[in-house]
Amino acid sequence: MNFIGDQSTAALTLSVPSGDITVTNTAPQYMTATLQDKNGNPLKDKEITFSVPNDVASKFSISNGGKGMTDSNGVAIASLTGTLAGTHMITARLANSNVSDTQPMTFVADKDRAVVVLQTSKAEIIGNGVDETTLTATVKDPFDNVVKNLSVAFSTSPADTQLSLNARNTNENGIAEVTLKGTVLGVHTAEATLPNGNNDTKTVNIAPDTSNAQVTLNIPAQQVVTNNSDSVQLTATVKDPSNHPVAGITVNFTMPQDVAANFTLETNGIAITQANGEAHVTLKGKKAGTHTVTATLGNNNASDAQPVTFVADKDSAVVVLQTSKAEIIGNGVDETTLTATVKDPFDNAVKDLQVTFSTNPADTQLSQSTSNTNDSGVAEVTLKGTVLGVHTVEATLPNGNGYTTTVNIAPDTSNAQVTLNIPAQQVVTNNSDSVQLAATVKDPSNHPVAGITVTFTMPQDVAANFTLENNGIAITQANGEAHVTLKGKKAGTHTVTATLGNTIPVIRSQ
């Protein structure tokens, strides 16, 4: 007699693999469903359906369409493969009944075939050792399952940066993060590497802090000649607070407005900093003096100002000579000041330049034969003399440029003296015999004085008896002498007086 199990009291028990199962999609996992009646008798040839929840069903595959038949032991077996990590409920059910059992199966991501993707929160950071970017490594397996608790190694090339950690485990979302900062400028390659060798890279540029850049202006310690061709190179060095050179910054070089028209800045004073942080322009001009040059940054208006000194063009200097008096008295005391004013072609005073003074004839006395110009471009000497006449005075510069004027050395007419000379003879009173009277006029330095009016007179009580040539009036000649003739008709010794038109002194009268 053959006994069979009682299906009306059937019970189903599902057995599935325990532990974490890696989602390979190739290694099947076997599920065993055992069907028995209440007395423990196996129920054979019964259809059992195996299933996973609908929301994940597309990620799994069950052998034979999820159907199996119980064998003589009441056991039905099916294999399961899948690609979705997580704990999923597996159900075995007796066909066309409510008899079932459900068990969990845990699938985990495939760490051995994990792939990493690296991202940065910022592709560029400031190289101040403070600003930083976050390196985010996202790790998944080939089926897009996040891989958690996997160590990710971080590195950079060049290795001159600061990473918050060199390695970090992924979190529940398969993410590992570290931060990167540095002070060495340039493009750095950041890399995230998994234990299986898989890796990903991104570049991070460490850049200077342009917004806080500062400028230093350097001007060579030289004097620039104001010939509008001699020049000086101005150098503006731009660095950030960490002393990194800053390239690509516009620098504006300017001169004070009140003198700017006298100077020329290369490229209108605009230059761009190069890789070394330097910007250069040349400056030339035509106004002597110490002037301030300012370098200003175009991005943040930071500036620096330095002095530059322009000096007059001595090689092209021109001299103008003037006298304080065009005529002096030839007494060796009276003097005139010779003033030589020296300027370059752009009207700048030339200081500390030797001026040579000379006269022709050279019979004068100069206080100095040479004198250096002062800060106003002026050199002065004095001239005096005792040799009468017109003297040519010359001021000459080292470049050969010269200038002349004249100074007349004249007798001291205001202090002239007269000497009357009458020949020692007796004149016949026939009113025709005559004697020549000679008045000699000289100044205190014994120079003959020409052009002086001399008046010859006789005493009033006898004057009617005598005749003086030209009414007794004569003008001194170059030798200082004035002459008239005297004749008369009254015998006796009489006094003749010679008087100067500008004075009264008489040295001798007869």
Q: Which residues contact 196 (CB under 8 A, 6 or more apart)?
A: 111, 112, 113, 114
3-class SS of residue 390: strand
Task: Report the b/e string of 356-375 with b at 16+ CB within 10 A.
Answer: bbbbeeeebebeeeebebee
What is the reported pLDDT for 57? 96
Average of per-residue pLDDT across 179-207? 98
414-500 has which CATH code?
A: 2.60.40.10
Contact present, 451 and 476 (Cβ < 8 Å): yes
CATH H superfamily, domain 7-108:
Immunoglobulins (2.60.40.10)
CA atoms within 13 A on the CB side of 270: 5
Contact present, 299 and 211 (Cβ < 8 Å): yes
CATH 2.60.40.10 fits 214-310, yes or no: yes
What is the reported pLDDT for 5? 67
CA distance 196 to 115: 9
CATH assignment of 315-410, given 3.30.200.20, 3.90.650.10, 2.60.40.10, 3.40.50.300? 2.60.40.10
With pLDDT > 90 as the criterion, what percentage of the chain qualifies? 93
Strand partners, 392: 360, 406
Lowest mean pLDDT among 98-102, 122-126, 310-314, 423-427: 423-427
Sign of torsion, CA 426 430 433 437? positive
Q: Both tokens of residue 98?
A: 């409510």
CA distance 70 to 61: 20
Fold equal for 113-207 and 214-310: yes
With pLDDT > 70 as the criterion, what percentage of the chain qualifies? 97
In the numeric block, the tokens 């007395």 are attached to 39
Q: 111 — phi, psi (to 5°)?
A: -60, -35
CA nearest neighbour of 73 among 15, 27, 19 = 15
CB count within 10 Å of CB 16 equals 22
pLDDT digits (tens, 9 = 90+) for 200-235: 999 999 999 999 999 999 999 888 999 989 999 999
Residue 311, Ramachandran bin (φ over 0: left; ψ between -120 and 50: alpha; else beta)? beta
CA distance 68 to 89: 18
Q: Are strands 336-343 and 364-366 parallel, antiparallel or unpaired?
A: unpaired
What is the reported pLDDT for 26? 84
Q: Both tokens of residue 3?
A: 């006994």
- Is the confidence at residue 333, as pLDDT, over 80? yes
3-class SS of residue 399: coil
In the numeric block, the tokens 């310690």 are attached to 221
What is the reported pLDDT for 425? 80
What is the reported pLDDT for 2? 52
Average of per-residue pLDDT across 243-251? 97
- Is the confidence at residue 1, as pLDDT, over 90? no
pLDDT digits (tens, 9 = 90+) for 439-470: 999 999 999 999 999 999 999 999 999 999 99
- Is the confidence at residue 159, as pLDDT, over 50? yes
Average pLDDT, the chain: 95
Residue count of the chain, please give it. Answer: 510
Q: Which residues contact 342 (CB under 8 A, 6 or more apart)?
A: 317, 318, 319, 349, 350, 353, 355, 373, 377, 378, 379, 397
- 158: preceding bond cis by omega (within 30 degrees): yes
- 345: preceding bond cis by omega (within 30 degrees): no
CB count within 10 Å of CB 400 equals 6
CB count within 10 Å of CB 436 equals 12
Average of per-residue pLDDT across 76-103? 97
pLDDT digits (tens, 9 = 90+) for 355-364: 999 999 999 9
- Is the confidence at residue 53, as pLDDT, over 70? yes
- Is the confidence at residue 504, as pLDDT, over 60? no
CA distance 87 to 450: 141
3-class SS of residue 73: coil
> How large is the greatest C-alpha to C-alpha distance in the chain, in angstroms?
220
Q: Are strands 133-140 and 175-182 parallel, antiparallel or unpaired?
A: antiparallel
Contact present, 199 and 191 (Cβ < 8 Å): yes
Average of per-residue pLDDT across 314-329? 98
- CATH class of this structure's domain 113-207: mainly beta
Going from N- to C-terminal start, the domains of the chain cover 7-108, 113-207, 214-310, 315-410, 414-500
